[in-house]
Amino acid sequence: MIRDDNSVLAFIFTIGRLMSVDLFLKPRFASALIALTCTALLAFGIYLQEVLGLEPCPMCIVQRYAFILITFCAILCWAVNRTKTFVGLSLVAQLLAIFGAFVAARQSWLQWFPPETMSCGRDLYGMIENFPLKRAIPMIFKGSGDCSVVDWTLLGGSIANWSYLCFLSILTYVVLVQIKAYKAGTEKT
């Protein structure tokens, strides 16, 4: 079978054009990509829990909640598909990413410098049920013996380290898309 070189080149050019940087900086595409990425990260966390038997510590659960809320913000941005909505919800997603990065950084710090007294402590739900929220939140960030244990690593990084990098990547990506959307909006006026 003889192939027409022009059709092959046209196919390669079309794929290259579809995968351009502009596509990745469009709010709707970015929202879908962030939602899919967060969903994949949450699915991987569930895999680690259910298949490999790793129990999440309170800080891991808080990070999961941050990923879930970022996913909801991204899905809303994708569904509404308005620049003003994207700007508002992306600000919320940025705050959630900063919060998630803070929790992951704190957990990484606990893993690098574990507390001298190791107590298993309560789980997240036990803390919330038995203590007022005003007292439970500091207990969560203090960490427990479970939060300082490294059960799984990838390329030398713990789950908390990778979670921190994911939160920072999401934050950076959202800021870049927001800047591009702002510039596109000011050029139209």
List the chain domain ranges: 20-113+152-188
Encode pLDDT of 21-67 as tens digits. 667 778 788 888 899 999 998 888 888 888 888 777 878 888 888 99
Cα–Cα distance, 32 to 9 (Å, whole number):
29
Residue reference for tokens 């990547």: 169
Please state the separation of Cα 7 from the chain's center in Å.
40
> With bands split at pLDDT 50, 70 and 90, how would you rate the model's confidence at 189?
very low
State mean pLDDT over 82-87: 76
Q: Give the pLDDT score at 111.
A: 74
pTM of the model: 0.71
Return all residues near 43 (Cβ < 8 A) that are at least 6 apart.
none
Mean pLDDT computed over every residue of the chain: 75
Checking if the pLDDT of 79 tops 60, the result is yes
Checking if the pLDDT of 70 tops 80, the result is yes
Checking if the pLDDT of 145 tops 50, the result is no
Residue 155 DSSP label: T
Checking if the pLDDT of 144 tops 80, the result is no
Least confident of 11-15, 47-51, 59-63, 169-173: 11-15
**Which residue spans within the chain are E strands per DSSP?**
153-154, 157-158
Checking if the pLDDT of 140 tops 80, the result is no
* Torsion sign across C-alpha atoms 172, 175, 177, 179: negative
Encode pLDDT of 98-128 as tens digits. 999 998 888 788 777 776 655 445 555 566 6
State mean pLDDT over 7-18: 60
State mean pLDDT over 144-173: 77
Checking if the pLDDT of 1 tops 80, the result is no
Cα–Cα distance, 128 to 73 (Å, whole number):
25
Least confident of 3-12, 65-74, 149-158: 3-12
Q: Give the pLDDT score at 72.
A: 92
CATH architecture of 20-113+152-188: Up-down Bundle (1.20)
- Contact yes or no for 85/77 (Cβ under 8 A): yes
- Contact yes or no for 115/33 (Cβ under 8 A): no
Cα–Cα distance, 75 to 112 (Å, whole number):
35
